[in-house]
Structure 1
């Protein structure tokens, strides 16, 4: 978040006095959170006060304050997945949303509009709680970076009046109740038809919000460079040019949270793999290399790292029944060491396949390591037992 200007410091003092009667947590009352309301209203104290009071009333009357105590329907999590991948270079959280696969029209026509809106509000409140748990009085984290993958988007997903009303209502709620929480958004693989939805949405967004949105097409070289300029590769899924082959969906974290009485959740980190622990093989042009490991009992952790010398390679991780667990067509293993972890739900064989079948003329030098570890209380602190 940008440093305060002299005008903002003066405005903050007056704003704090005006809203002294509103019961806010230490986190929401911190200057770096109060400034969000002022910036959203161009330092107009009257408008900022109206805005935050409306937000307080909305939370009280719409059940937002206790939304985290309610279960999230499995069907909504399944149909509207996303990934919390880590942090940007400033420590703010990063999330990937496969927006092009979110079928908004189906949720409206199936009568699940209320469940979907509750799901979005649930995730936002969960993010606030997570940000508060990471923050201190000296360091506040209160913004998010979004990578919105538009691949697969079609107007059919949104082209009905009730669906458009749903989307515009959500957008308006985000602008009114969560100002300045968006740090930046990368909208990648955006097709031409998306311009129609964007034209409808733009009038509801402030100029400050619009300035943070980068809309890019299918040129991966362009958006990979822009994303990695702000986010370390270890916190970007391999599919998007980073180094995380196994970033989990949000249901992973919801499950972890449900197993704790108090809010005790952290983002899963992949462990680095030392170069001396890697084996080297040549994957022939047009060929594949497979590594099979056997896990003796459920709950064990598989950990891996791999890189190639000069070119990318495909990566497939599956169980012994040939069911794909991770399938990435091509990863930038020549740019970043690719890392991953997986808790095995059952004993048996697991197969790592490095696929060079798309490269008919070039063999690949692959360096890889696979380790079997004992997961420790699901917190991924492990001791290597076998490799």
Structure 2
């Protein structure tokens, strides 16, 4: 699954999240941990709504969070309350671009990641971000099964209210548009093409969005016609995501 990203106003730098596990550590298990993982999968797989949730890399996240104690990991997996994060770290699906790909908007400027980290919620925050990504990719997989020719989605990262000094990097000067010009020279052509960074010139980034996304598929804050996008709660109620290039809306 691939995606394009549009950054509006400034490129995001999240604070360092403590207690993160490296990919190599995630994929390396002792014999005892492997046996626990097998038991855990058998215990919960019939209650998990999506196939990806039964994969090792997903289940290990919950086991590690509870030090491989199966009852505690089971309770967290089946009962973790996301209501506070869904309010604080919201995102929307705007509609579809002209190539039939979903458009996800994330108001990162309103996300207080630093507060969550300082409150000791780093691990939960990482699980929540994983959950958001998996929900979107699951929508795309389900749409593919229903006949939609859909393999990518777009991100609009709205940084309008982002305060870099308060929320992320206390010592970073406001020169990220210039830094991006340097950093992008070290990226592959594919990555360069996938990421677009715009400053505060509203006419510039709105023009760029409307070249690829019809106004009927965007909310007014992005130069579109709609009052707001679709929340994940609304999207979950749909039988599937219809986003062909001929569709004017999600229906």
- For the 8 Å contact 1:76–1:115, the answer to whether it is kept is no
- The reply to whether residue 117 of structure 1 matches residue 118 of structure 2 is no
Give me the TM-score of the superposition, normalised by structure 1.
Answer: 0.40
- For the 8 Å contact 1:88–1:235, the answer to whether it is kept is yes
CA drift at 1:265 = 4.9
CA drift at 1:137 = 9.1
For each residue in 1:189-228, what CA deviation from the matched residue of structure 2 results, as whole angstroms up to 9, or x when unmatched? xx94545996998799755223321111111111111101
Describe the shift of the 1:138–1:152 C-alpha distance in structure 2 as closer, same or farther (beyond 3 A).
Answer: closer
Q: Which residue of 2 aligns with 1:61?
A: 60
Describe the shift of the 1:202–1:72 C-alpha distance in structure 2 as closer, same or farther (beyond 3 A).
Answer: farther
For each residue in 1:280-303, what CA deviation from the matched residue of structure 2 results, as whole angstroms up to 9, or x when unmatched? xxxxxxxxxxxxxxxxxxxxxxxx
CA drift at 1:232 = 1.4
Pick the structure with greater CA Rg.
1
Alpha-carbon distance in 1 for matches of 2:116, 2:180: 20
Q: Which residue of 2 aligns with 1:216?
A: 198
Alignment of 1:184-195 (within 5 A): 192-195=174-177
- For the 8 Å contact 2:92–2:230, the answer to whether it is kept is yes
The alignment of Structure 1 onto Structure 2 pairs a total of residues equal to: 186
Q: Which residue of 2 aligns with 1:148?
A: 157
Describe the shift of the 1:248–1:57 C-alpha distance in structure 2 as closer, same or farther (beyond 3 A).
Answer: closer
- Gap regions ≥5 residues in structure 2: 3-23, 28-51, 64-73, 244-248
- For the 8 Å contact 1:89–1:232, the answer to whether it is kept is yes
| Greater strand proportion | 1
CA drift at 1:233 = 1.1
Q: Which residue of 1 aligns with 2:103?
A: 94
Alpha-carbon distance in 1 for matches of 2:169, 2:185: 18
Alignment of 1:286-365 (within 5 A): none
- The reply to whether residue 227 of structure 1 matches residue 209 of structure 2 is yes
- For the 8 Å contact 2:101–2:152, the answer to whether it is kept is yes
1:218 counterpart SS class: coil
Q: Which residue of 2 aligns with 1:158?
A: 168
- For the 8 Å contact 2:177–2:199, the answer to whether it is kept is no
- The reply to whether residue 250 of structure 1 matches residue 249 of structure 2 is no
Describe the shift of the 1:226–1:76 C-alpha distance in structure 2 as closer, same or farther (beyond 3 A).
Answer: same
- For the 8 Å contact 1:105–1:160, the answer to whether it is kept is no
- Gap regions ≥5 residues in structure 1: 1-32, 37-50, 165-190, 258-263, 269-338, 340-378, 381-387
Give me the TM-score of the superposition, normalised by structure 2.
Answer: 0.59
Describe the shift of the 1:203–1:222 C-alpha distance in structure 2 as closer, same or farther (beyond 3 A).
Answer: closer
Describe the shift of the 1:228–1:68 C-alpha distance in structure 2 as closer, same or farther (beyond 3 A).
Answer: farther
- For the 8 Å contact 2:98–2:212, the answer to whether it is kept is yes
Alignment of 1:73-88 (within 5 A): 73-88=82-97
1:152 counterpart SS class: coil
Alpha-carbon distance in 2 for matches of 1:228, 1:197: 26
- For the 8 Å contact 2:219–2:225, the answer to whether it is kept is yes
